Amino acid sequence: MLQGIVARRALLGDGAWHDTSIAFANGLIDTLGGPAPAGALDCGDYLVLPGIVDLHGDAFERQILPRPEAAFPLPLALADTDRQLVANGITTAFHGITWSWEGGLRGRENAIGIRTALARLKPRLAADHRIHLRWETHNLDAVDEIADWLATGHIDLLAFNDHLDMVQARLGDDGKLRKYAERAGLSLAEFRALVARVEARADEVPAAIATLAGHARAAGVAMASHDDDTRAERECFQALGCTISEFPRTAEATAAARALGSPTVFGAPNVVRGGSHCGAPAARDMVAAGLCDILASDYYYPAPLAAACLLAHEGVVDWAGAWQRIAANPARAAGLDDRGHLATGQRADLIVLDASDPATPRVVATIVGGRLAYLAEDLPRVAA
């Protein structure tokens, strides 16, 4: 285990930069300041910041299925995902595993497979991997099994998704529908028939949502509603104890979330690319207006780091404000009070960052639980 670091520019829990030493013990930050422990990394003028807490990331799907008919073994894909995470400064990753009525990549077997593979790989993984289960609310057959996952501690965040309307809008377009059918491993005709069967049970969905929300509350698992469109929708989920508004699609839903005190999640790729690829509010504008609490990788792991550096460089918010949105705020929303900022007693999760070129920030080192998980260049050590 690494004993600690010394840094001239460390962003501590008070939101200010400090010239300090940080000593580790038992995977936690033990002391700030004082003599640097022997063997500590000397970070020089690089920035030292809390490790990134990624509340929603599903880029791992590309490692599993890089092409529609080219699936790779889950352990291999997830081990590669782990390396991508720490190389991009992500120390805690909530994997957005979709359990949908579609089947295939987003079906029951794959959800179980990922859970099993993560459990088996855990001793070898560098980052802290957690399950953000994205339940498609029309997947009524999965309710009992998901309730069991909640009761047995296998879900760290439960999201209520409903993409049926998006699929229905593409039923008349073979080209657009084909990606869904291929992902499910079905022909177009089979997939259209599946959509019809799912739609026929729509009246059962509200009760199923209430049931799983009750199980999540009982298990102490945080909940998120996905793609809120209206104030009524956000209020309904809030009443169920679902406090996180994930990717609200309208100004009305975003304003409702703010009025209700619901943390809002937007995509970090939205910031980096200069806007949404699907017509959602511009995340940069939401940050500037104080309406975005959390930025998540969504479908691209380098995005949280790049977005925070861009926002700080352009003066949209200061470094502390930018970093809160990818560390402290997501940790707090998920109920994790042991990480997200650098202070004594917190997990020793931090990154060493070269931000000299804000367009291409470079992670020099990533430390997870006091262990050096990634090192891009040799850093000097403090002599005994």
Reported as a pLDDT band with limits 50, 70 and 90, residue 384 is: confident
pLDDT at 69: 80
Please report which residue ranges of the chain form alpha helices under DSSP H: 60-64, 74-87, 108-121, 143-151, 164-168, 174-184, 188-199, 205-219, 231-239, 251-260, 268-273, 283-288, 303-313, 319-324, 328-333
pLDDT at 242: 98
pTM for the whole structure = 0.95
The fold of 1-50+341-384 is: Urease, subunit C; domain 1 (2.30.40)
Checking DSSP bridges between strand 264-267 and strand 294-296, what pairing results, if any?
parallel
Mean pLDDT of the chain: 95
Residue-wise over 64-85: b if at least 16 C-beta within 10 A, else e? Answer: bbeeeeeeeebeebbbebbebb
The closest alpha carbon to 249, from 206, 271, 278, belongs to 278
Q: What is the pLDDT of residues 23-51, one digit of tens each?
A: 999 999 999 999 989 999 999 999 999 99
DSSP-assigned states of every residue in 133-166: EEEETT-GGGHHHHHHHHHTT--SEEEEE--HHH
Contact 225, 237 (CB under 8 A): yes
Q: Is 370 left (phi over 0), alpha (psi -120 to 50) or beta?
A: left
pLDDT at 383: 87
In this structure, whether the domain defined by 52-339 belongs to CATH 3.20.20.140 is answered with yes
Q: How far apart are CA 211 and CA 142, in angstroms?
A: 12
Interval 356-373 mean pLDDT: 96
Domain assignments of the chain as residue spans, ordered by start? 1-50+341-384, 52-339
The closest alpha carbon to 352, from 90, 2, 47, 50, belongs to 47
User: For residue 164, what are the contacts with CB-CB under 8 A and spacing of at least 6?
Assistant: 136, 138, 195, 198, 199, 202
Interval 151-172 mean pLDDT: 94
% of the chain at pLDDT higher than 70? 100
Reported as a pLDDT band with limits 50, 70 and 90, residue 181 is: very high
Contact 341, 50 (CB under 8 A): yes
Q: How far apart are CA 24 and CA 157, in angstroms?
A: 29
pLDDT at 60: 96
User: For residue 61, what are the contacts with CB-CB under 8 A and spacing of at least 6?
Assistant: 105
pLDDT at 275: 83
Q: How far apart are CA 79 and CA 82, in angstroms?
A: 5
At 1, list the tokens. 């285990």
pLDDT at 183: 87
Q: What is the pLDDT of residues 49-100, one digit of tens each?
A: 999 999 999 999 999 999 878 899 999 999 999 999 999 999 999 999 999 9
362 strand-pairing partners:
354
**pLDDT surpasses 90 at 105:** no
**pLDDT surpasses 90 at 245:** yes
Q: What is the pLDDT of residues 115-129, one digit of tens each?
A: 999 999 999 999 999
- Using DSSP's 3-state secondary structure scheme, residue 65 falls into coil
pLDDT at 279: 73
